[in-house]
Amino acid sequence: MSTIEQRIADNVARVRQGIADAAARSGRRADEVALIAVSKYVGAAEIDALLAAGCRDFGENRPQDLWRKAEEFHGRPIRWHMIGHLQRNKVRRTLPLVTLLHAGDSWRLLEAASQHLQQSGQVLEVLIEVNVSGDAAKTGLGPEEVEPLLPRIADLPQLRVRGLMAMARWGGTLDDARGDFVRLRELRDRLAASCPPQVALRELSMGMSGDFEVAIEEGATLVRVGSALFEGVDR
Q: Does the protein bind ligand PLP through residue 62 (CB under 6 A)?
A: no
Exactly one of 3, 227, 232, 235 binds ligand PLP (CB under 6 A); that residue is 227
Q: Encode burial over 33-54: b for 16+ CB neighbours within 10 A, e otherwise.
A: bbbbbbbbebeeebbbbbbebe
Q: Does the protein bind ligand PLP through residue 61 (CB under 6 A)?
A: yes
Q: Does the protein bind ligand PLP through residue 40 (CB under 6 A)?
A: yes
> Minimal distance in Å, beta carbon 194 to ligand PLP?
28
One-letter amino acid for residue 32 of the chain = E
Relative orientation angle of helices 174-192 and 143-154, to the nearest 10 degrees = 40
The residue among 74 and 175 lying less far from ligand PLP, judged by its C-beta, is 175
State the number of binding residues for ligand PLP (CB under 6 A).
14
> Minimal distance in Å, beta carbon 150 to ligand PLP?
22
> Minimal distance in Å, beta carbon 16 to ligand PLP?
14
Rg from Cα positions in the chain:
17
CB atoms within 10 A of CB 148: 8
* Site string (145-164) toward ligand PLP, x via CB under 6 A: --------------------
Of residues 197-226, those binding ligand PLP (CB under 6 A): 208-210, 224-226
Whole-number Å distance between alpha carbons of 209 and 194: 33
> Minimal distance in Å, beta carbon 96 to ligand PLP?
21
Backbone conformation region of residue 112, classed left if phi is above 0, alpha if psi is from -120 to 50, else beta: alpha
Q: What is the DSSP letter of 28?
A: -
Residues that bind ligand PLP (CB under 6 A): 38, 40, 61, 83-84, 167, 208-210, 224-228
